[in-house]
Chains A and B, each alone.
Chain A
Amino acid sequence: AQSVTQPDIHITVSEGASLELRCNYSYGATPYLFWYVQSPGQGLQLLLKYFSGDTLVQGIKGFEAEFKRSQSSFNLRKPSVHWSDAAEYFCAVGAQNNDMRFGAGTRLTVKP
């Protein structure tokens, strides 16, 4: 069965600094990988997704993620964080739209 691990429960970065959120997955075949963001009291919003092709994917709000098969990782990055990026971030793995599994999430705090 597939699973997702987000090693960092909470990360704090200064506004304008770079960001990397880690995600490791376990899946028997080529996975479909996703990053979602959840602001307080809101539902989840898709940031980006990887199905196949170029392993570096661009998403909304200036985020990008890189699929590394050898490391079973799909880390999320942003070169310069804005205060509005403070939220909870979830990595997910699935097979197309079946059996989507989410990680436990990483809470991002942005310092002024």
Chain B
Amino acid sequence: EAGVAQSPRYKIIEKRQSVAFWCNPISGHATLYWYQQILGQGPKLLIQFQNNGVVDDSQLPKDRFSAERLKGVDSTLKIQPAKLEDSAVYLCASSQDRTGELFFGEGSRLTVL
């Protein structure tokens, strides 16, 4: 079974530029999450999708971050414009309903200069 795929693995941009991350969840997983993990901290939930609807985006900085889940499968997380404090690893995870187990991708490491 293929795992959660994310790209790019690494991205370096300058502040005020934009960046997009892509995630392909495990086939059949209805729930998809984007987490932000700053160095030395635990993952922080940015947004959770159930199929293609948003369940929770309370911690998403909506003035600069946006996310969509096309047709309830792939998802894209965008940051525009980026700030220095956005430097982090962006983790995508998916899960089946009712199991509670999240399957994580390897993450996309963003460095903002």
Question: B-contacting residues of A (Cβ < 8 Å)?
Answer: 4, 6, 32, 34, 36, 41-46, 49, 51, 90, 94, 96-105
Contact = CB atoms under 8 A, between A and B. Distances in A.
Contact of B102 (A6, A42, A51, A97): A97
B91 A97 contact: no
B54 interface: no
Given A100-B45, A102-B43, A104-B42, A41 B102 contact: no
A41 B42 CA distance: 14
Interface of B: 4, 31, 33, 35, 40-45, 48, 55-56, 91, 93, 95-107
Contacts, number: 65
A98 B49 CA distance: 10
A32 B102 CA distance: 12
Given A44-B91, A103-B42, A98 B55 contact: yes
Contacts of B97: 96-97
Interface centre among A49, A90, A94, A100 (most CB of B within 10 A): A100
Given A98-B55, A98-B56, A100-B33, A46 B102 contact: yes
15 contacts: A36-B102, A43-B105, A43-B107, A44-B93, A44-B104, A46-B101, A46-B102, A49-B100, A97-B102, A98-B48, A98-B55, A102-B44, A103-B42, A104-B42, A105-B42
